Amino acid sequence: MDQYRRIQTGKKDNIHIVLFKDKKILDDTVLDEIKTEINRLIGNAAGPDMLLDFANVEFMSSAMLGLLGQLHRKISQGQGRLKMCGIRPEIFQVFKLTNLDKLFKIFPDAPAGLAAFEA
């Protein structure tokens, strides 16, 4: 039983793995639900380590970047680490246009992302 509608969650060595279920993250409602669900997942935990997996995501609005920014800030403040993976080229373009590819730690896939936490 999955308790979330927008995300699928897993945990490995205290690293939260969050896989976005949606192919399109464009609507404000979808965005709000993702935000709510991630907040519910983290709760009050201070800066957990987290890997966001975009493998399913084909389209993403730039508003999603705002959410990622908030998450990045929250996790960094708690001394946690945020990494991302599975970002396809079209979406990577959104990160690149806004220079955020230099802010976020982005890896090709989940194994590579997880390995980066051990380094």
Partner 1 sequence: MRLPAWQRLKPEHRTHSGKTAMNSDASAQPTASAGSAAAGGGVDVVIAEDSRIQAKMLQRRLTEAGHTVRWGETGAEALALVRERRPDIIVSDIEMPVMTGYEFCKAVKTDPALKTLPFILLSTLADPIDIIRGLDAGADNYVTKPYEADFLLGRIQSLLASPLEEDSAGAEAAMLEVTLAGQQFRVKAGRQQVLNLLVSTFENAVAKNQELVVANQDLSVARDNLQRTNSELTDLNEQISRNNAQMVRDLEAAAKVQQSLLPAQDVTIPATQVAWRYVPCHSLAGDFLNIFMLDEEHVGLFVVDVSGHGVPSSLMAVTVGRFLTPKVSDQSLLVRQGADGRIAVARPAEVATQLNRLFQADEFSGLYFTILYGVLHMPTGRLDYVSGGHPALVRVPAGGTPEFHPVEGFPIAFVPDVDYEQHSLQLSPGDRIYLYSDGVPEAMDKDRQQLGDEALAGVLAATRSQSLDESVKALLQRVEDWCQPIGPLDDVSILGVEWRP
Q: By C-beta, is 13 or 89 nearer to partner 1?
A: 89
Dist. CA 63–CA 39, nearest whole Å: 17
Dist. CA 67–CA 31, nearest whole Å: 8
Which position has the token pair 């090709």?
108
Cα 32 to its chain centre, rounded Å, is: 14
- Chosen residue from 41, 103, 112, 116 binding partner 1 by CB under 8 A: 103
- Chosen residue from 2, 28, 29, 118 binding partner 1 by CB under 8 A: 28
Q: Does 88 bind partner 1 (CB under 8 A)?
A: no
Minimum distance from residue 31 beta carbon to partner 1 (Å): 8
